[in-house]
Homo-oligomer: A and B are copies of this chain.
Amino acid sequence: MTDMAKSQPAPRSDRGPSSKATNDGSMETAIVRIAGDSGDGVQLVGGRFSINSALAGNDLVTFPDFPADIRAPTGSIYGVSAYQLHFGGRNIKTIGDHVDVLVAFNPAALKTNLPLLAKGGILILDSSGFSATNLRKAGYETSPLEDNSLDGYQLVQLDIGKMTMLAATPFNLTKKHALRCKNFFALGLLFWLFDRDPSKTAAWIKEKFAGRPEIADANVAAMNAGHSHGETIELSGDISKIHVPTYQMEPGLYRAITGADAMAYGLATAAELSNRQLVMASYPITPSTNILHKLANMKELGVMTFQAEDEIAAAGAALGASYAGALGVTASSGPGVALKMEMIGLAVATELPLIIINSQRAGPSTGLPTKTEQSDLYQSVFGRNGDAPLPVLAARSPGDSFYCAIEAARIAQKYMTPVILLTDGFINNTSEPWSIPDIDDLPRIEVPNRTDPSDYKPYERDEKTLARAWAIPGTPGLEHRIGGLERDALTGAVSYSPENHQKMSELRAQKVANIGFDIEELTVDQGDESGDLVVVGWGSTYGPISRSVTTMRAKGYAVSHVHLRHIFPFPTNQCELLSRFKRILVPEMNMGQLITLMKAMDCPAASGLTKLEGQPFMVSELEVAISDAIKEVKNG
C-alpha cells in the first residue's frame, strides 16, 4: 500500500497525434466522439453509429460519458454529454486514448472535449451553437472559431442548425422540434465520412418514431442532408472519406451489450440454469441501478425485482429470498455495499447463497458517483467484522459480466456462501459486440437442495464442498432454526462451546479456500508462459492492458498479460505462474489494493501502477510503464 509507483501520463493537451491517424483515407481503427448538451441527443445517434459500425463488420467499444448533473442549463460546461466510439478492423479493447473525429455542438462541448482530440484530428463544429451566450457560458473570451486556436486540427465548421431546419422544412415542425433533428444531420455526415449506408438507420428511425411520422421524416431528412453535405465538403477538398477495414470476428450471432445488461442477463440465465427463481433486491445507486432496471423488465421470465427502502433492506430481502429457496441477488456501489456488510456477515454465518454485485465508483464516501474506479477490493475481501471469508470475483468487460454472473451463482449455490461480484461504472455503461450464447448449451448448475427428512442435520456438510444442504421452508420434515449466533457444527443449534467455535471458524475458512481448487486455473491471456514481465490486472483494466501488451509485444518486448477473474480465493496456481516472470506489474485504478492482497497471499513481489482519476488507463500510459519495467529488468 505504500510503495506504489504512480503512472505519469502526459498532460492531456499534449496527447497525440495518433500514430495511426492518417490522412490517406484509411485507418485501422477510428475513434469518434460526439459531444453536446444533454438535450442534444448525442447518446441516441452515438448508439446508432455504433450499431451501424457493427453491422458494417467492425469490432468496437463504446462509452457514453454522461454529465454528473441531471439536466444542467443549456450551454453549461457541466451539462455536456458525450458519446465515444472506437471501432475498426481489429479486435477493439479500449475506448481509445484520444479521439480521431470530434463532433461538438456548442462551445462547452468543444472546451471539455478538445483536449481528447488528437493533433491533426477532424473537428466538426456546429457554428449555430456558438452564440455569444454559449461562448461566455463555456468561459471563452474570444471565439475559437475566430482566434486561430483550432489551427492544428482539420476543422469542419458548419451551420448544422440552419441546414437541419432547411431539411426539416417540408414537415411543418415547430422550430424547436426541427432543431432537435441536428443530431441526425451530424450522424448523416459521419455516415458519409466513414462511407456508410444510412438506409437501415432510416428504417430504424421510422420504427422508433412510428407514432409521430412527421418527426421521423424530419430526422431522416436531416440525416440524408448531412450525408449529402459530406459530398459538398469532399468537393471542397477539406477532408475526405475514411476507410476503416472490417474485422473478422468469430462466427456467431452478435448484439451490442453493456455491462449492466449483460449482468442482468447473466443473472437470469444463472437462475434458469439452477432452476431457481431470481429475486433481485436493490436500492438505486449510480452506477449500479441499470442492473435493477434491466431485470425489472424481465418479469416474463418470472424474475422478481424489489426496490427496497435502503441497502440493508435490499441485502436482507435478497438473503431472505435465498433462504426461502430463490437465487437472491442484491446490487449496489461502494457506499451502499458498506451498509450491507452486517447482512453479508449473516449470510456467511448462516451459509446461504447470496450474490452481492458492486458496481464500483470513485470513492471514498460519495466520491465521484459517475466516475469509475476499482477501489472496493479491500472492502470486498476484508470488510466484515469477525473472520468472515467469502469468494470475490471481478468482471473484466461487458460481455464477461454475463459469464461472471453465472460463475458467481454457481459458487454461491454449490458452496452455500455469499459471493461478491465486482464490476464498475465503466463496464456497466460501456458496450461492445457480444456473441450471443445459446443458453441450452451452458452447463446446468447443481444446487444442494434437500428434501429428504431422514436424519437431517442443518449444518451437516457435503464432504467435498463442505457446503451444508439447502433445506427450504415449505419442505415437510426439514423444519429447523438458524441464526447469527455461533451454531453447532452439526445440529446448527446455538453453541457457546469454545471448541465448536474454533472448528466452525476453520470450516468456514476451509470451505472458501477450497473454492480455489474448483475454479479454472489461471492462464496467460496473451504472451508467453514466462518472460521478463507479466502485467497482472483485474476487472475493467482488461482492455487497456491487453491492448498495450499487444502493441509492446509487437515491438519485441517479452511481456505477458494475466488477468484475474477470481480475487478471492486466488486460483491455486497463481503464485507459481507469476513466479515464472522476472517482474510483475499490477496496474490498478486505486492506491494498490490487489498488490496488498497478493502480498498477503504470498504471491511473488510485484510493483504497482496506480491511477485514481475516475477514468480508465490509457494504452500509452501502460506502454510507458511496460517499457520502464522491462528496462529495469534489463538493467539488473
A interface with B by C-beta (< 8 Å): 1-3, 6, 68, 78, 333-335, 337-339, 341-342, 345-346, 348-350, 362-371, 373, 375-376, 378-379, 381-389, 483-486, 496, 498-499, 501-502, 505-506, 508-509, 513, 590-591, 593, 596-597, 599-602, 611-615
Given the known interface contacts A367-B484, A485-B368, the answer about A600 and B602 at a Cβ–Cβ threshold of 8 Å is: no
Residues of chain B within 8 A (CB-CB) of A612 are: 387, 501-502, 505-506
Question: Cβ of B349 and Cβ of A342 under 8 Å apart?
Answer: no
Task: Report Cα–Cα, A496/B372, bound state, in Å.
Answer: 12
Copies of this chain: 2
Residue from the list B362, B381, B386, B591 in contact with A376, Cβ < 8 A: B386
In the assembled complex, how far is the CB of residue A329 from the closest CB belonging to chain B, in whole angstroms? 19
Neighbouring B residues of A499 by C-beta, 8 Å: 613
Residues of B within 8 A of A365 (CB): 342, 345-346, 348-350, 386, 388, 484-485
Cβ–Cβ contact B509 & A591, under 8 A: yes
Residue on B nearest A495 in the bound complex, by CB: B368
**Whole-angstrom CA separation of A35 from B346 in the bound complex:** 33
Known: A379-B385, A596-B600. A485 touches B366 (CB 8 A): yes
B366, A388: Cβ atoms closer than 8 Å? no
Residues of B within 8 A of A379 (CB): 382-385
What are 8 A-B contacts defined by CB distance under 8 Å? Answer: A335-B342, A345-B363, A362-B501, A363-B388, A501-B613, A502-B612, A505-B612, A597-B600
Name the contact of A386 in the complex, choosing from B362, B486, B501 (C-beta under 8 A): B362
When distances are taken between beta carbons in the complex, the residues of chain B under 8 Å from A513 are 2
Out of B334, B348, B591, name the residue touching A505 (CB < 8 Å).
Answer: B591
* CB atoms of A1 and B364 under 8 A apart: no
> How many angstroms between the C-alpha atoms of A334 and B368 in the bound complex?
28
Residues of B with C-beta under 8 A to A1: 389, 509, 600-601
Q: Kindly report which residue of chain B lies nearest to residue A341, judged by CB atoms.
A: B338
B387 close to A590 (CB less than 8 A) = yes
Interface contacts beyond A345-B365, A498-B614, A600-B600: sample of 10 additional A-B pairs, CB < 8 Å, sorted by A: A1-B601, A2-B601, A363-B388, A364-B386, A364-B388, A364-B508, A365-B485, A375-B387, A501-B614, A502-B611
Question: Once the chains bind, are B382 and A378 in contact (CB under 8 Å)?
Answer: yes
- Compute how far the CA of A341 lies from the CA of B385 in the bound complex, rounded to whole angstroms: 11
Which of B364, B386, B483, B596 meets A349, CB within 8 Å? B364
Inter-chain contact A342/B346, CB cutoff 8 Å: no
- In the complex the two chains form, what is the Cα distance from A365 to B502 in whole Å? 15
Residues of B within 8 A of A339 (CB): 339, 341-342
Beta-carbon contact of A496 and B368 below 8 Å: yes
Do A375 and B385 form a contact, CB below 8 Å, given A3-B602, A498-B615? yes
The residues of B that contact A369 with a CB separation of less than 8 Å are 485
- Chain B residues with CB under 8 Å of A3's CB are 602
Instruction: Choose from B78, B362, B382, B498 the contact partner of A486 (Cβ within 8 Å).
Output: B362
Q: Known contacts A501-B614, A505-B591, A600-B1: does B368 contact A384 (CB below 8 Å)?
A: no
Give min CB distance, A341 to chain B, whole Å: 4
CB-CB nearest 4 A-B residue pairs: A363-B386, A334-B385, A364-B386, A498-B613
In angstroms, Cα B496 to Cα A615, docked, is 11
Inter-subunit contact B368/A613 (CB<8 Å): no
Q: How far, in angstroms, from A362 to B349 measured CA to CA in the complex? A: 12
- Please, which residues of chain B bring their CB within 8 A of the CB of A600? 1, 596-597, 599-600
A613 to B388, CA, bound (A): 15
CA distance A498 to B589 in the complex (A): 12
Chain B hits for A362, CB < 8 A:
386, 486, 501
Taken together as a complex, chains A and B put the C-alpha atoms of A367 and B348 apart, in Å, by 11
A367 touches B386 (CB 8 A): yes
**When the two chains form the complex, which single residue of B2, B367, B378, B387 contacts A591, counting CB atoms closer than 8 Å?**
B387
| CB <8 Å contact, B341 and A366 | no
Query: Which residues of B lie under 8 Å from residue A350 when comparing CB positions?
Result: 365
Q: A485-B368, A601-B1 are in contact. Are A338 and B385 (CB under 8 A)?
A: yes
For A388, list chain B residues within 8 Å (CB): 363-365
Nearest-Cβ distance from residue A363 to partner chain B, whole angstroms: 2
Compute how far the CA of A388 lies from the CA of B486 in the bound complex, rounded to whole angstroms.
31
Contact between A385 and B366 (Cβ–Cβ < 8 Å)? no
Say yes or no: A345 contacts B338, CB within 8 Å.
Answer: yes
A287 → B minimal CB distance (Å):
13
A107 to chain B, nearest CB (A): 19
How far in angstroms is the closest Cβ of chain B from A286?
Answer: 12
Contact A367–B349 (Cβ < 8 Å): yes
CA distance A3 to B385 in the complex (A): 21
- Report the Cα distance A338→B362, complex, angstroms: 20
State the Cβ distance, A335 to closest chain B Cβ, in Å: 5
Q: Within the assembled complex, what's the spacing in Å between the Cα atoms of A365 and B370?
A: 32
Instruction: Report B-chain residues with C-beta under 8 Å of the C-beta of A334.
Output: 385-386
Question: Would you call B378 and A383 a contact (CB within 8 A)?
Answer: yes
Shortest CB distance A434–B (Å): 29
Asked if A342 and B338 sit within 8 Å, CB to CB, the answer is yes
Report the Cα distance A615→B499, complex, angstroms. Answer: 11
Whether B614 lies near A484 (C-beta < 8 A) is no
A527 to chain B, nearest CB (A): 28
Q: Least Cβ distance of A416 to chain B in Å?
A: 15
The distance from the CB of A415 to the nearest CB of chain B, in whole angstroms, is 16
A364-B376 CB under 8 A given contacts A496-B68, A613-B498, A615-B498: no
Q: Which residue of B has the minimal Cβ distance to A499?
A: B613
Chain B residues within an 8 Å CB radius of A505: 591, 612
Assess the A366–B501 pair: CB atoms within 8 A.
no
Complex contacts, A385 vs chain B, CB 8 Å = 333-335, 337-338, 363-364, 375-376, 379
Is the pair A602, B599 in contact by a Cβ cutoff of 8 Å?
A: yes
Q: Are A486 and B368 in contact (CB under 8 A)?
A: yes
